[in-house]
C-alpha cells in the first residue's frame, strides 16, 4: 500500500455515527441525520459524489412529536386509482412500524432525486436500544440531539417535589392529590370496553382512514 | 425478400441515436509539460524541424513565398534550434509540417494564407509541445494539492470520542440548551432566598 | 451530412460490378502486402544531418564541436554495420585507421560516471538523513535503462542517433544520451555537464515520491534499528481511530510512538496494514523526506550550498 492510497482511504472513509432518538423531535433530528447521510458536513462534499457517512439511530419508538402531531398529522398514501387514497395518522403508523416516522422525516429532508435512496440505505434504525453487536461495533461517534431530555413528574422523588418552589398556594378545596394515578384511572376489562363502531357505506364517516381507529382503552372515573 | 429489396434500393437504415461520445474517443490527461520542461535552468523548444512546402508559381502560396523572402532568415537566426527545410513543389498547395522532439508531427495547409497568417501558424507550431489531440481533464493540476495535509474525517474531531462506549449519555442531548421555564423559576427562587438573607 | 438518395438507385455490388471487384482485389492485396517497413528518418528528402546536429547543440545551449557531437551520437552497431559492408565490398575489415570515426562507448561511460557522481552527491546533500541504501536505489532508478531511454527519446535523440535500426533500442538511446553528457564534459567543463544532469535527469523526480522508489521490506524492523542507533526507545503502535470495523469499508488509524513521543501515523483498511504504513510514515519523518519537505531546487543546487567536487 502506498502513501497516496492510505491518504485516499483516510479522506474518503465512512464514519459511523450513533443517534439516540429518545425524546427528540424527528423533524429536527431528520435534518441533522440527512446532512450526515449526504456528507454535507464534510469539506470534501460535492453533489455528484457519494461522500456520506453511516448512521445508526436507536430508540425511535420514543421520539417526541410537536404539539398535536401524533393525532393531527398523517401519512397520505395516494394510490393511482379513484377513491383509493387514504391517510394513516402518525400514531397509528408508529404502532405499525416504530421506525417509520424517523425514516420519513429524514427522507423529507433530502432532495427528491433518484440518489436519495442510496443515501437513505446508510441509515439503520432500531425501535429500542437493542442494536446488533456487529453494528454497534462500527460506531465511532455520536450525533447530538436537538432537544434536552425532559424530566417527567414520576421520575422525581417526593422530596424534589416538595423542595420545588411554589409561586402561590392553591385553595385547599381545589387541590387533589393527582400523583396517585390509580384513584382517577383504571384499566377496563374487555367486556366494559365500548363496542367497535362499524362503518357502513362506501365513505362512511367521510374520513379517509383505511382502518378503524379504536377509541381509547381508558375511561375517566369520577370520584364523588 | 425485404432485405434484398433494401439492397437494391437506396433506403438507408437510419439509426435513431448515435452513441458517439467525445469523452471516450479522445484520450485524456492532466495538463503537463514533456519531461518537466522548464523546471531546470533551461527551456527546450519542442519543435525540432520545420518543413515548408511551397510552389513558386501558383497564387495559392503567395503568402508563404512572401514569408520565405522576408522573414525566413530572421526566423532561422532567432531560433537556431529549429531545422528548417524549404521544399519547392511545382503546382501544389503550400503546407507547413512541424516535427517535435517527442516524435509527433503536425501538418498545416497554408493555401491562400497571407504573410501574417503564415507567420502566425509557424509561431503557433513553434510554441506548442507536440500533439494537441488531448482532452485536458482539468485546466490546472498539481502533484501536492495541500500544504497543511489533506482533510480526513478525523481531523479536528475531539479525541475523547475514541474512548467512549456508545450509546453515550453525555452525547445524547443538545450541546448548548436554552434555559427552560423550570430552571428560570428555580433561579429566581434562589435569588430571592439570597435577597432575604442579606 | 445530409445525403440525398433517390429511390430506385442501385448501389452496392450490383452497381458497377467491375469497380466492386477491382476495389475488393486491391483491398485484399494491401492486406497481403502487410505493414509498411520502418524507414530511417534520414531516408526522407528533407534531411540534413549537419544542420540537425547544429540545431541540437543550440537546443540545449551547449557549445559542442559538431565532430564530437557526431562521435557521441554514433552507436557501435552503426560501426559494425559499416565494417560489415566494407568486408562484403572486399575492403580490409580490421583497418580502423581508414574509418574516420569511432563509436560512443567510452564517452557514454564517462558521462555515466559524471551523472552517477553528481546524482549521488546532490541527493545526499538535499536529503542528508536519508540512508545510503536508499540514495543508491534512487540513483540506480534514475540511471536505469527505461528512465534514461524515456528522457533521451523525449529530447529528440531518437532520430539523431546513427545506428543500424530505424527506431533505436533503449540501450542505444541510453548510450547516446550519456555520451552527450560526456561530450559536454569534453568540450566545456564538468560543471556544465552536471548542470545538464540536474536539468534533465534529476527533474525526473518531480511528482514522484522517493520513499516509494526505495521500497522498504520490513519498515517496523528498520524503524526499531534507526531508533536504537539514535539511542531512543523501541517504537510502540497505538490504535487512534477505528470506524466501520465490521463493514467492508473499515478504517483504522494507527499512530507510532517512542517513549510517548509521536513519530507518525497512518490509516489503513486493516490494523496490520495501518501499522505498517504508520511505520513507513515515521521513517520518512525521521529521514526528513515527508510531504512537508521542500522540493529539490534543480537549478540552484550550487547556489544553495552544494559543494563543487573537484
Among all residues of chain A, which has the CA nearest to that of B143?
A4
In the prediction, which pLDDT does C33 show?
94
Confidence of residue A202 (pLDDT cuts 50, 70, 90): very low
C100: cell is 574516420
* Model confidence at B103: pLDDT above 80: yes
Burial class (CB in 10 A: 0-12, 13-18, 19+), C219: buried
* Model confidence at C200: pLDDT above 80: yes
C79: cell is 560501426
Mean pLDDT on B118-126: 96
In the prediction, which pLDDT does A223 show?
52
**A174-178, B119-123, B130-134, C120-124: the lowest-pLDDT one:** A174-178
* Of B8, B36, B85, Cβ closest to residue C10: B8
* Model confidence at C301: pLDDT above 80: yes
Interface of A with B in 18-37 (CB under 8 A): 18, 20, 22
Mean pLDDT on C192-221: 93
B35: cell is 519531461
How many C-beta neighbours within 10 Å does residue B42 have? 16
Cell numbers 490504535 label which residue?
A: C239
- The nearest CA of chain B is from the CA of A4 a distance in Å of 11
| Mean of pLDDT over chain C | 90
CATH of range C216-286; options 3.30.160.20, 3.30.1280.10, 3.10.105.10, 3.40.640.10 = 3.30.160.20
**B4-13, B180-189, C102-111, C194-203: the lowest-pLDDT one:** B4-13
Class assignment of domain B46-136? alpha beta
CB-based contact A137:C247 (threshold 8 Å): no
Q: Is C253 helix (H, G, I), strand (E, B) or coil?
A: strand
Q: How far apart are CA C43 and CA C301, in angstroms?
A: 43
In the prediction, which pLDDT does C304 show?
76
Say how far residue A219 (Cα) sits from the centre of its chain: 27
* Model confidence at C243: pLDDT above 50: yes
How many C-beta neighbours within 10 Å does residue C250 have? 19
* Residues of chain C contacting A3 with CB distance shorter than 8 Å: 209, 211-212, 266, 277, 280-281
* Model confidence at A205: pLDDT above 70: no
Among all residues of chain C, which has the CA nearest to that of B78?
C58
In the prediction, which pLDDT does B15 show?
42
Mean pLDDT on C175-202: 93
- The nearest CA of chain B is from the CA of C262 a distance in Å of 15
Burial class (CB in 10 A: 0-12, 13-18, 19+), C201: buried
Q: What is the side-by-side order of every strand in the sheet holding A16-20?
A: A123-125, A54-58, A16-20, A141-143
> Which pLDDT tens digit goes with each residue over A74-125?
888 876 777 667 788 888 889 889 999 999 999 999 999 988 999 999 999 9
Determine which of C219, C247, C256, C270 to mutate to test the interface with A (most A C-beta atoms within 10 Å): C247
> Which pLDDT tens digit goes with each residue over C50-73?
999 999 999 999 999 999 999 999
* Model confidence at B174: pLDDT above 80: yes
* Of A11, A20, A140, Cβ closest to residue B151: A11
Q: How far apart are CA B65 and CA B57, in angstroms?
A: 9
Q: Name all domains of chain A by residue range, CATH numbers in brackets.
A: 12-145 (3.90.1180.10)
* Of B45, B85, B101, Cβ closest to residue C154: B101
- The nearest CA of chain B is from the CA of A17 a distance in Å of 10
Q: How far apart are CA B42 and CA A68, in angstroms?
A: 78
> Which pLDDT tens digit goes with each residue over B36-51?
998 888 999 999 999 9
**A13 near B CB under 8 A:** yes
How does DSSP assign chain A, residue by residue?
--HHHHHHHHHHPPPEEEEE-TT--HHHHHHHHHHHHHTTTSTT--TTS----EEEEE-GGG----TTHHHH-EEEE--SSTT--EEEEHHHHHHH-TTHHHHHHHHHTS-SSTTHHHHHTTEEE-SSS---HHHHTT--EEE--SSPPPPPGGGS-HHHHHHSPPSSPPPGGG---TT-GGGTEEEPPTTTSPPP----STTGGG--BSS--PPPSEEE----
CB-based contact A212:A199 (threshold 8 Å): yes
Confidence of residue C260 (pLDDT cuts 50, 70, 90): very high
Interface pTM, i.e. ipTM = 0.84
| Mean of pLDDT over chain A | 83
For chain B, the domains span 46-136
In the prediction, which pLDDT does C52 show?
95
Cell numbers 439516540 label which residue?
A: A20
Contacts 24+ apart (CB under 8 A), C205-209: C205/C138, C205/C142, C205/C296, C206/B36, C206/B39, C206/B143, C206/C295, C207/B36, C207/B143, C209/A2, C209/A3, C209/A4
In the prediction, which pLDDT does B11 show?
43
Number of Cβ pairs < 8 A linking chain A and chain C: 61
Mean pLDDT on B92-96: 96
Which one-letter DSSP state was computed for residue B61? G
In the prediction, which pLDDT does B13 show?
46
**C147 near B CB under 8 A:** no
In the prediction, which pLDDT does B22 show?
56
Mean pLDDT on B94-106: 93
B85-121 burial code (b ≥16 CB/10 A, e <16): beeeeeeebbbbbbbbbbbbebeeebeebebeebbeb
Contact B39 C298 (CB under 8 A): yes
Mean pLDDT on C137-154: 96
**A98-107, A167-176, C264-273: the lowest-pLDDT one:** A167-176
Confidence of residue A191 (pLDDT cuts 50, 70, 90): confident
Residue B18 gets the label, from left (phi > 0), alpha (psi -120 to 50) or beta, of: beta
* Model confidence at B134: pLDDT above 90: no
Q: A152 versus A33: which is more confidently predicted?
A: A33
* Chains touching C, CB cut-off 8 Å, 3+ pairs: A, B
* Residues of chain C contacting A14 with CB distance shorter than 8 Å: 243-244, 247, 249, 251
Mean pLDDT on C250-279: 95
C251: cell is 478504517
Q: Is C86 helix (H, G, I), strand (E, B) or coil?
A: helix
* Model confidence at B71: pLDDT above 80: yes
For chain C, the domains span 47-210, 216-286
* Model confidence at C208: pLDDT above 60: yes
**For the domain bounded by C47-210, which CATH number is listed?**
1.10.1520.10
Q: Which residues on adjacent β-strands are paired with residue A86?
A: A77
The closest of C258, C260, C255, C261 to C274, measured between CA atoms, is: C255
* Of B166, B172, B185, Cβ closest to residue A149: B172
Determine which of C46, C155, C193 to mutate to test the interface with B (most B C-beta atoms within 10 Å): C46
* Model confidence at B142: pLDDT above 90: no
Confidence of residue A204 (pLDDT cuts 50, 70, 90): very low
Mean pLDDT on C203-211: 91
Q: A42 versus B17: which is more confidently predicted?
A: A42
Asked if omega into B167 is within 30° of 0 (cis), the reply is yes
In the prediction, which pLDDT does A172 show?
80
From residue C308, give the alpha-carbon distance in Å to each of A201, B40, C111, C305: 105, 18, 17, 9
* Model confidence at B131: pLDDT above 60: yes
How does DSSP assign C15-62, residue by residue?
SSHHHHHHHHHHHHHHHHH-SPPP--GGGSSS--HHHHHHHHHHHTT-
Cell numbers 554495420 label which residue?
A: C81
Amino acid at each position: 500500500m502506498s502513501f497516496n492510497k492510505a491518504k485516499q482511504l483516510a479522506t474518503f472513509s465512512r464514519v459511523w455515527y450513533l443517534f439516540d432518538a429518545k425524546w427528540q423531535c424527528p423533524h429536527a433530528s431528520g435534518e441533522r441525520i440527512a446532512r450526515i447521510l449526504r456528507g454535507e458536513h464534510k469539506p470534501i462534499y460535492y453533489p455528484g459524489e457519494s461522500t456520506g457517512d453511516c448512521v445508526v439511530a436507536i430508540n425511535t419508538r420514543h421520539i417526541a412529536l410537536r404539539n398535536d402531531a401524533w393525532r393531527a398529522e398523517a401519512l397520505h398514501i395516494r394510490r393511482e386509482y379513484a377513491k383509493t387514497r387514504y391517510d394513516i395518522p402518525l400514531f397509528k403508523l408508529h404502532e405499525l412500524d416504530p421506525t417509520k416516522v424517523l425514516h420519513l422525516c429524514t427522507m423529507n429532508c433530502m432532495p427528491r432525486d433518484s440518489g436519495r435512496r442510496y443515501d437513505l440505505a446508510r441509515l439503520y434504525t432500531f425501535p429500542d436500544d437493542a442494536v446488533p453487536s456487529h453494528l454497534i461495533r462500527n460506531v465511532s461517534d455520536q450525533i447530538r440531539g436537538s432537544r434536552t431530555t425532559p424530566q417527567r413528574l414520576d421520575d422525581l422523588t417526593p422530596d424534589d417535589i416538595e423542595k420545588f418552589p411554589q409561586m402561590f398556594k392553591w385553595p385547599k378545596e381545589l387541590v387533589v392529590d393527582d400523583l396517585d394515578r390509580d384513584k382517577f384511572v383504571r384499566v377496563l376489562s374487555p367486556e366494559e370496553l365500548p363496542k367497535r363502531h362499524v362503518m357502513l357505506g362506501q365513505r362512511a364517516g367521510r374520513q379517509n382512514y383505511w382502518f378503524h381507529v379504536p377509541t381509547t382503552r381508558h375511561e375517566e372515573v369520577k370520584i364523588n | 425478400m425485404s432485405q434484398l429489396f433494401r439492397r437494391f434500393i437506396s433506403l438507408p437504415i437510419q439509426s435513431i441515436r448515435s452513441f458517439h461520445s467525445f469523452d471516450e474517443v479522445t484520450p485524456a490527461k492532466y495538463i503537463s509539460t514533456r519531461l518537466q520542461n522548464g523546471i531546470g535552468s533551461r527551456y527546450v523548444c519542442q519543435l525540432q524541424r520545420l518543413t515548408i512546402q511551397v510552389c513558386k508559381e501558383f497564387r495559392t502560396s503567395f503568402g508563404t513565398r512572401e514569408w520565405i523572402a522576408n522573414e525566413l532568415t530572421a526566423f532561422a537566426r532567432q531560433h537556431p534550434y529549429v531545422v528548417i527545410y524549404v521544399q519547392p513543389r511545382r503546382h501544389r498547395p503550400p503546407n507547413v509540417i512541424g516535427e517535435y522532439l517527442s516524435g509527433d508531427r503536425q501538418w498545416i495547409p497554408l493555401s491562400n494564407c497571407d504573410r501574417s497568417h503564415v507567420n502566425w501558424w509557424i509561431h503557433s507550431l513553434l510554441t506548442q509541445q507536440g500533439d494537441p489531440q488531448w482532452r485536458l481533464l482539468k485546466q490546472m493540476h498539481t502533484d501536492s494539492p495541500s500544504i497543511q495535509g489533506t482533510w480526513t474525517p478525523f481531523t479536528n474531531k475531539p479525541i475523547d470520542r475514541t474512548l467512549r462506549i456508545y450509546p453515550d449519555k453525555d452525547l445524547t442531548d443538545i450541546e448548548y440548551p436554552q434555559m427552560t421555564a423550570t430552571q428560570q423559576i428555580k433561579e429566581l427562587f434562589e435569588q430571592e432566598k439570597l435577597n432575604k438573607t442579606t | 451530412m445530409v445525403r440525398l438518395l433517390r429511390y430506385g438507385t442501385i448501389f452496392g455490388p450490383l452497381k458497377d460490378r467491375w469497380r466492386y471487384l477491382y476495389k475488393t482485389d486491391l483491398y485484399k492485396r494491401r492486406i497481403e502486402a502487410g505493414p509498411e517497413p520502418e524507414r530511417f528518418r534520414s531516408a526522407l528528402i528533407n534531411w540534413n544531418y549537419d544542420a540537425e546536429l547544429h540545431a541540437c547543440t543550440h537546443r540545449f545551449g551547449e557549445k559542442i564541436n559538431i565532430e564530437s557531437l557526431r562521435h557521441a551520437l554514433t552507436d557501435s552497431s552503426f560501426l559494425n554495420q559499416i565494417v560489415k559492408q566494407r568486408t562484403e565490398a572486399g575492403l580490409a575489415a580490421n583497418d580502423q585507421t581508414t574509418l574516420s570515426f569511432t563509436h560512443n562507448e567510452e564517452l557514454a561511460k564517462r558521462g555515466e560516471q559524471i551523472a552517477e557522481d553528481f546524482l549521488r552527491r546532490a541527493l545526499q546533500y538535499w536529503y542528508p538523513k536519508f540512508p545510503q541504501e536508499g540514495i543508491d536505489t534512487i540513483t540506480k532508478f534514475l540511471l536505469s535503462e527505461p528512465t534514461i531511454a524515456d528522457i533521451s527519446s523525449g529530447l529528440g535523440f531518437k532520430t539523431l542517433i546513427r545506428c543500424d535500426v530505424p527506431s533505436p533500442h533503449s540501450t542505444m538511446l541510453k548510450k547516446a544520451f550519456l555520451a552527450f553528457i560526456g561530450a559536454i564534459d569534453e568540450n566545456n567543463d564538468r560543471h556544465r555537464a552536471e548542470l545538464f544532469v540536474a536539468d534533465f535527469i534529476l527533474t525526473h523526480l518531480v511528482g514522484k515520491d522517493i520513499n516509494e522508489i526505495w521500497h522498504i521490506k520490513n519498515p517496523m524492523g528498520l524503524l526499531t534499528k534507526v531508533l536504537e542507533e539514535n539511542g531512543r526507545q523501541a517504537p510502540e503502535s497505538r490504535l487512534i481511530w477505528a470506524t466501520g470495523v465490521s463493514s467492508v469499508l473499515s478504517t483504522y488509524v494507527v499512530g507510532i510512538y517512542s517513549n510517548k513521543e509521536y513519530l507518525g501515523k497512518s490509516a489503513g483498511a486493516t490494523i496490520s496494514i495501518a501499522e505498517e504504513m504508520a511505520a513507513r510514515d515515521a521513517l520518512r519523518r525521521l529521514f526528513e523526506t515527508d510531504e512537508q519537505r521542500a522540493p529539490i531546487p534543480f537549478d540552484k543546487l550550487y547556489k544553495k550550498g552544494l559543494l563543487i567536487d573537484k
